[in-house]
Amino acid sequence: MSYRIEPTDGHFAIRLQGEPENCHALTMAPSDREEELNHGLWLVVVFAVWSGPDRKAIDTALEIGHELGDKVQIGIRPFDRKEELQAWCPEGKIQWVSPIWLVLKDGKSVNEMFGSQSRQKVFEAVVVHLR
């Protein structure tokens, strides 16, 4: 698993390298939710760019993506301020604890977790929504 976090135009971007097609680098602070997040099952991990511990969540999400393959899409989104989240996830009960783990099914939030989580807990939060 390989990724880089790079500064871009006053924001940050995550660049995935050598990851399967079900793993997606999402843009920081989008003005609206990406259309692809409205289809299928997604695990989106939102990590604070300034938090070293949050970066461990990226590895966990990518591991789950490798294990489940095309059964689930993995999205990885950097953020800096809580306000950035409301534009693309207005229904979420976003707390000021990161990383933020969102499980979306056909665009609806079906599970939210906050802070460091075990790989097993995140995995179970996703697979319960597989058909």
Q: Is 131 domain-assigned?
A: no
Number of separate domains in the chain:
1
Q: Is 72 domain-assigned?
A: yes
Give the domain extent around 82.
2-126
Q: What is the pLDDT of residues 60-71, one digit of tens each?
A: 999 999 999 999
Low-confidence ranges of the chain (pLDDT < 70): 1, 90-95
CATH of the domain at 53: 3.40.30.10
Q: What pLDDT, on a 0 to 100 scale, did the predictor assign at position 103?
A: 96
Q: Is 23 domain-assigned?
A: yes
Q: What pLDDT, on a 0 to 100 scale, did the predictor assign at position 27?
A: 95
Q: What is the pLDDT of residues 13-31, one digit of tens each?
A: 999 999 999 999 999 999 9
Token output for 121: 């807990």
Contact indicator for 73, 40 with CB cutoff of 8 Å:
yes
From residue 48, give the alpha-carbon distance in Å to each of 11, 29, 97, 118: 12, 12, 9, 18
